[in-house]
Structure 1
């Protein structure tokens, strides 16, 4: 087994166990056993259980931000609403492809720890900057309604994360299967309706929304 294969087996085992048993409820020995690797590999590659969690959270948000940054780079020349819509779709697909990890990361971000405070001041501050700039540009163009931008960001992030933060509620109470391939397509359509109704100034809906589809 190669170095990369060993590391990936450890990461997969950690994601499963941290999600199902919690970070504090999972031992390094359990991770090594599930990954079928020597326990020393975890210390060697990740410097222990805390290093594993840090790697998972950091790598998740690095890829997450790359998706936003790629679309954000088009803001100067592109349609603001189209770009925001495309960011939403990219993030939905990313979360869907990494369902267990998304749940783990979003759950950990609700806790107060040194790691999460660092995440807040780096990755999540960047995310806020990109979303805030896009929405404010839409407002300046007269395309988006004026409003308290932080509240708009709260609502958007909540809608994006809810299916992956609370999958049990989605399946057991709402009977929505977020793991199914069709979910992203259907949910994106609903988010577009929300986005259009919450942000877009009435006079622009009929004449411009078609270009954002």
Structure 2
């Protein structure tokens, strides 16, 4: 048990170090030696556990998207048991809190996804195609129930994805211009309210919309 615990701690230390360095120095600018030094482990551990830096990169993507997609899978599993708009909103809320709790990982993954590379093409053909399927299933279920307006699912998914990734693709802009921080609970709560309002106004039929109260208060304004 002690050996297994040490192994897990070593792997986690390596992953944590890699995420920090990938964010600050970029993937190409981070060496195995840099990662090992920050994690306070021998470089050989990175080869042993992850088969090198490429394996670490793949581990980052896997960790992010498996949890991200689990939020959507749970929403699909709840279809028919709970209102479809609730299923969608709950999935969005869980994704936002997951991303906030792992903001450095989220920032790195979404930034890398904006670059055309072999691993991104592989991710697109697997994880992102599954994401498309799950989101489309929820939206089409809402349309079939006549709860959602008949709008193009592809456009809605693109808009929704943009809102989910924006705080991490533009983290410096949020921090420097608006003094907002995606890792803070206050930001997540207000940002979720904004997306919830977007869902109600864009998707849901016959809903009475309250005046928006989700605008963020910024000291500089």
Query: What TM-score comes out, normalization by structure 2 length?
Result: 0.89
1:11 corresponds to = 15
Q: Secondary structure at the match of 1:42?
A: helix
Cα distance in 2 between the residues matched to 1:36 and 1:105: 24
1:205 corresponds to = 207
Equivalence map 1:1-213=2 (5 Å): 2-201=6-205, 204-206=206-208
Cα distance in 1 between the residues matched to 2:21 and 2:165: 21
Q: Secondary structure at the match of 2:178?
A: coil
Shift of 1:109: 1.1
Shift of 1:196: 0.9
Shift of 1:58: 1.1
Cα distance in 2 between the residues matched to 1:187 and 1:68: 19
Cα distance in 1 between the residues matched to 2:129 and 2:106: 18
Cα distance in 2 between the residues matched to 1:146 and 1:66: 26
Shift of 1:191: 1.0
Structure 2 unmatched ranges of 5 or more: 210-221
Shift of 1:68: 1.5
Structure 1 unmatched ranges of 5 or more: 208-213
Shift of 1:140: 1.8
Cα distance in 1 between the residues matched to 2:95 and 2:128: 14
Root-mean-square deviation over aligned CA pairs: 1.4
Q: Which protein, 1 or 2, shows the higher relative CO under an 8 Å CA cutoff with sep ≥ 6?
A: 1
- Number of aligned residue pairs: 205
1:85-142 CA distance string (max 9 Å, x none): 1011010010001000000111111112221111111111111111111111111222
Shift of 1:179: 2.3
Q: Secondary structure at the match of 1:73?
A: helix
CA contact (8 A) 1:18 1:26 kept: yes
CA contact (8 A) 2:76 2:137 kept: no
Cα distance in 2 between the residues matched to 1:63 and 1:138: 24
Shift of 1:28: 0.7
Shift of 1:144: 1.3
CA contact (8 A) 1:58 1:119 kept: no
Shift of 1:177: 2.3
Runs of 4+ that moved beyond 4 A: none
Shift of 1:185: 1.0
